Every structure is written in C-alpha cells, then in structure tokens.
Amino acid sequence: MEFDITPPAECRTMSEVRAGVDSLDRLLVELIAERFRYMDAAARIKTERETVRDEGRKAQVLGNVADHARELDVPVELVANLWERLVESSIAYELGRFDATPAAQA
C-alpha cells in the first residue's frame, strides 16, 4: 500500500509519526465501513436468521488473519483479539440488519 505520508523508517519528528498514524486510522475506519457493507449484503442475501452466525466461517476468518499477522510479523495475539471483537460485532450488526429484511418478516 502506498500512502501520502512519511514512511515509519523515515520519520524524524513526532509530527510525522502522528500524521502517519492519523492517516492510517482514517483508512482503517474506511476499510471497516466497507467490511460492514459486506455485512449488509450478507443480511440481504441470507434467507434464514440461523445462518448469520457461522462458527466455521468465524474460525476460518480468525485463522486467516492470524496467518497474515504472522507473515507481517505483527503480534498474533493482538490481531486475534481485535478480530474476535470485530467478527462478533459484525455478527451482531448483521443480525440487526437481517431482522429488518423481508426474509425476517416472513
């Protein structure tokens, strides 16, 4: 990924560091918003509420991010904890969205 910020290894001031962190935080929020739009799509596509929680898929997602964290030399436990919360929040969000769909009203 390319960003219009000073790369971490080239930062010489805390202002550069903070600008980089702030820029990445904005990007992360944008990516989370896009992820939640996929939850909207899932809620629209699924026909049964029971299919919203899929423990097999959850395990797959958590395994994928743990593997990617290892590849990038990021603390796996930290990433696993973040994604556990993200996935559980996504499931709760999707359940709410599903409950508002015509399929839930049937």
The predicted pLDDT at position 27 comes to: 95
pLDDT reading at 93 higher than 90: yes
Read off the pLDDT of each residue in 62-90 and give the average, rounded to a whole number: 98
Residues 6+ apart with CB under 8 A from 47: 103
* pLDDT for res 75: 98
Q: What is the pLDDT of residue 15?
A: 96
Q: Give residue-wise pLDDT tens across range 53-72.
A: 999 999 999 999 999 999 99
Classify each residue of 61-73 as buried b or exposed e, where b means 16 or more C-beta atoms within 10 Å of its C-beta: bbeebbeebeeee
Domains and CATH numbers, the chain: 8-105 (1.20.59.10)
Q: What is the pLDDT of residues 3-46, one digit of tens each?
A: 679 999 999 999 999 999 999 999 999 999 999 999 999 999 99
- Are the beta carbons of 44 and 96 closer than 8 angstroms? no
Cα→Cα distances 66→43, 59, 62, 84, 91, Å: 26, 10, 6, 11, 19
- C-alpha–C-alpha distance, residues 30 and 22, integer Å: 13
**pTM for the whole thing?**
0.89
* Four-residue CA torsion sign, 11, 15, 16, 18: positive
